[in-house]
Amino acid sequence: MSQGALDTVLVPFRREGWPFIAGFALVAVALALIAAPLGWIGALLTAWCAYFFRDPERVTPTEAGLIISPADGLVQSIGPATPPPELGMDGGERIRISVFMNVFDVHVNRMPADGVVTALAYRPGRFLNASLDKASEHNERQSVRMTTADGKDLAVVQIAGLVARRILCWVGDGQQVGAGERFGMIRFGSRVDVYLDDGMIPLAVAGQKAIGGETVLARSLQSGEDASARTGEVR
């Protein structure tokens, strides 16, 4: 097996996942004692649990002004929306880029840009399907507001999904952060929204697969450029 293939399979796991992996493994042993076929089912579920908590390294673009995807998953939508009110981001709607993570995606979340965290806000809520637009308003969420290195006001919001029951956020107010730096995760299916500032142009396309810490979602707008979202097609 090539080194590249080994790096894909042999990835580190988040320590937050070990209690879950151990629990699944104990259940698998108990099922095996009841019946061998049940043990194999338990083993497969244990393998999936370990796979869920994987935490691979990523190569983050370092060009100034780029906004990097905070999550692996599908770029579900790009369009105007109002940021969470608890962040105090006055000014009405902003361009929002939503990335939906299914249960097979990496769920470690990464900061979208270099800068400083200026506000954190947690709000309990419901657990609707994260692919629904109303999930941004009604679901449990953890919001992070930041000022980027080039002075832009940006927000990234972790949203719990249908089976997600715990949002983890590892950054603090006033903390200096870097693009691609791990800042949290959501357990078992979820979504992450990024709210852009004025003067930022989306570069992603709805329906595109994003890689957290690597895929460029947007960048600061240059003079004369159109700030509308791009279009794409399946090829």
Q: Would you name the residues annotated as active-site residues?
A: 190
In whole angstroms, give the CA distance from residue 182 to residue 178. 9
DSSP helix, strand, coil percent of the chain (3-state; round to 5): 20, 35, 45
Burial label, 98 (beta-carbon count in 10 A; 0-12, 13-18, 19+)? buried
In whole angstroms, give the CA distance from residue 111 to residue 94. 19
Helices marked H in 35-92: 36-52
Q: Are 159 and 192 in contact (CB under 8 A)?
A: yes
Read off the DSSP letter of residue 126: B
Q: Are 24 and 47 in contact (CB under 8 A)?
A: no
